[in-house]
Amino acid sequence: MQYFDPHIHMSSRTTDDYQAMADAGIRAVIEPAFWMGQPRTNVGSFIDYFASLVGWERFRAAQFGISHYCTIGVNSKEANNLPLAKEALELLPQFALKEGVVAIGEIGYDEMTDAEEYVYQRQLEFAVEHDMVVMVHTPHRDKKNGVLRSIAVAREIGVPMEKLVIDHNNEETVKDVLDAGAWAAFTIYPNTKMGSERMADVVQQYGPERIIVDSSADWGVSDPLSVPKTANLMRKRGIDERAIELSCWQNALDAYAQSGQIDVDALQRPLVIDQRQTFNDNTVLRGQKPRIDDPVPN
């Protein structure tokens, strides 16, 4: 079975992670724009970061047989530096409409401040104007109210619920998201938030419809193999294989393919790897023999 990790911050991960992910069956990833661990000090850092999401990371993933997509947006935590956030918002037309960008995100609330509200609403308006999918970051504190507010504001601005992905859910919020008609995504962490056992419980209780499993692996303690590990745990728990396929592959594909940026048929075929390729004269290799796959016959 192939897996889709639709929320993973590969800019924070190593090439060894890409190799391990490919070996575990991960065929595609989505990398959302997010907070890199310390405050940005000027809009140029956003420019370089967004450029890496649509450039270097897309190349780096392909060198290991993984199709890389991304989302572009101003993260809720960064919204609280409102003057800089407003400058970053001006970059959306430059980057969010590029090839491989499948959504505006991850956007939403952190502390539910007025600044976060302003930045969230402006990006929702951009998404509606350009008929884009939206990936929402929900707050780690007061999550239920944050989720309800996220949905209400998105609906008020005109985001179709089938194009709204609410992430970082837990048992307290899943029913609200599903009842709204949005997609309910869950980030699986080794020690905090949702774990694989709790994720399996959610699928058993609610079924797999519009449920999405992801890792949100980043620069902190996290696991880029959370999706296949959760799938394997579901199998041990006796969960139907179709439910596993939906929650760990098909639902994410259906949600983000609405962007028109995912070649669904191509994902069913192995990605032909040629590690002789470079990106701006840079390579993922450090003297190793390159992998060179034979072309796929027509």
Alpha carbons 231 and 247: distance in angstroms, whole number: 9
Q: Tens-digit pLDDT profile for the chain (298 aa)?
A: 899 999 999 999 999 999 999 999 999 999 999 998 899 999 999 999 999 999 999 999 999 999 999 999 999 999 999 999 999 999 999 999 999 999 999 999 999 999 999 999 999 999 999 999 999 999 988 999 999 999 999 999 999 999 999 999 999 999 999 999 999 999 998 776 688 999 999 999 999 999 999 999 999 889 999 999 999 999 999 999 999 999 999 999 999 999 999 999 999 888 889 999 999 999 998 888 999 998 876 6
Radius of gyration of the chain (CA): 18
**187 within some domain:** yes
Full 3-state SS string of 79-140: HCCHHHHHHHHCCHHHHCCCCCEEEEEEEECCCCCHHHHHHHHHHHHHHHHCCCCEEEECCC
**223 within some domain:** yes
**263 within some domain:** yes
CA angle 12, 50, 22 (to 5 degrees): 45
**280 within some domain:** no
Sheet of strand 134-137: strand arrangement: 3-5, 26-32, 67-72, 101-108, 134-137, 164-166, 183-187, 211-214
CATH code for position 181: 3.20.20.140
Alpha carbons 194 and 101: distance in angstroms, whole number: 27
Alpha carbons 26 and 252: distance in angstroms, whole number: 13
Q: How many domains does the chain have?
A: 1
**219 within some domain:** yes
**295 within some domain:** no
Q: How many helices (DSSP H) and strands (DSSP E) are in the chain?
A: 14, 8
Alpha carbons 188 and 195: distance in angstroms, whole number: 5
**207 within some domain:** yes
Residue range(s) defining the domain that contains residue 85: 3-267
**221 within some domain:** yes
